[in-house]
């Protein structure tokens, strides 16, 4: 499989790898995928009182495209409001990384991850 330069760049220099404390009230965690399917993404966001995402971290078990999709996503969501972040489409990620059709599911997973993280944050706030 030939990878685009962008996938290789994110894979070799992943941005924002790490962990945020999932028990903090201003942190939202989204974990999607399944080990049996070969990819698990965990995306975490830290949200400021103004509703803007201040920080984002990820860890991903998966192929190079899955790692790149989540790495790119952490860059994109920083500085966005929750609503803006939820509007990120998998097609935008796939396009930016020039993912081949068999790898589009990696970008779908990334979209699911940010939606899940936002959802987690919101449900914490509702409590």
Partner 1 sequence: MKTPIYFDYSATTPVDKRVAEKMCDCLTLEGNFGNPSSRSHPFGWAADEAVEQARKDVAALINANPKEIVWTSGATESDNLAIKGVAHFYHKKGKHIITSKTEHKAVLDTCRQLEREGYEVTYLDPQTNGLVDIDQLKAAIRDDTILVSIMHVNNEIGVINDITAIGEITRERGIIFHVDAAQSAGKIEIDMQKMKVDLLSLSAHKIYGPKGVGALFVRRKPRIRVEAQMHGGGHERGMRSGTLATHQIVGMGEAFRIAKEEMQQDNARIIKLRDRLFDGLKDIEEVYINGDMEHRVPHNINISFNYVEGESLMMALKDLAVSSGSACTSSSLEPSYVLRAIGRNDELAHSSIRFTLGRFTTEEEIDYAIKQIIDNITKLRELSPLWEMYKDGIDINAIQWAAH
Q: Report angle CA 36, 39, 43 to the nearest 5 degrees.
A: 130
Q: Mark whether 106 is an active-site residue.
A: yes
Nearer to partner 1, 84 or 100 (CB): 100
**Least distance CB 5 / partner 1 (angstroms):** 13
Strand 39-47: give its sheet, edge to edge: 27-34, 39-47, 53-61
Catalytic residue of the set 45, 106, 109, 118: 106
* Nearby residues of 87 by Cβ (< 8 Å), 6 or more positions away: none
Alpha-carbon distance 100 to 17, whole Å? 24
Nearer to partner 1, 24 or 48 (CB): 24
Nearer to partner 1, 37 or 51 (CB): 37
Q: Mark whether 63 is an active-site residue.
A: no
DSSP type of residue 36: G
**Least distance CB 106 / partner 1 (angstroms):** 9
Alpha helices in the chain (DSSP H): 5-12, 64-77, 82-86, 90-97, 104-126
**Least distance CB 78 / partner 1 (angstroms):** 19
Binding residues (CB under 8 A) for partner 1: these are: 1, 3, 8, 11, 14, 17, 19, 31-42, 59-64, 66-67, 102, 105, 109
Catalytic residue of the set 18, 37, 51, 79: 37
Active site residues: 37, 106
């Amino acid at each position: 499989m030939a990878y685009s330069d962008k996938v290789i760049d994110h894979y070799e220099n992943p941005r924002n790898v790490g962990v945020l404390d999932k028990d903090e009230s201003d942190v939202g965690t989204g974990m999607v995928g399944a080990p049996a399917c070969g990819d698990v993404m965990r995306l975490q966001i830290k949200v400021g009182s103004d509703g803007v995402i201040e920080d984002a971290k990820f860890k991903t078990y998966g192929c190079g495209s899955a790692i790149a999709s989540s790495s790119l996503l952490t860059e994109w969501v920083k500085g966005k409001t929750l609503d803006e972040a939820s509007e990120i489409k998998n097609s935008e990620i796939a396009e930016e990384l020039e993912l081949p059709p068999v790898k589009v599911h990696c970008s779908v997973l990334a979209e699911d991850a940010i939606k899940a993280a936002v959802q987690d944050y919101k449900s914490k706030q509702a409590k």
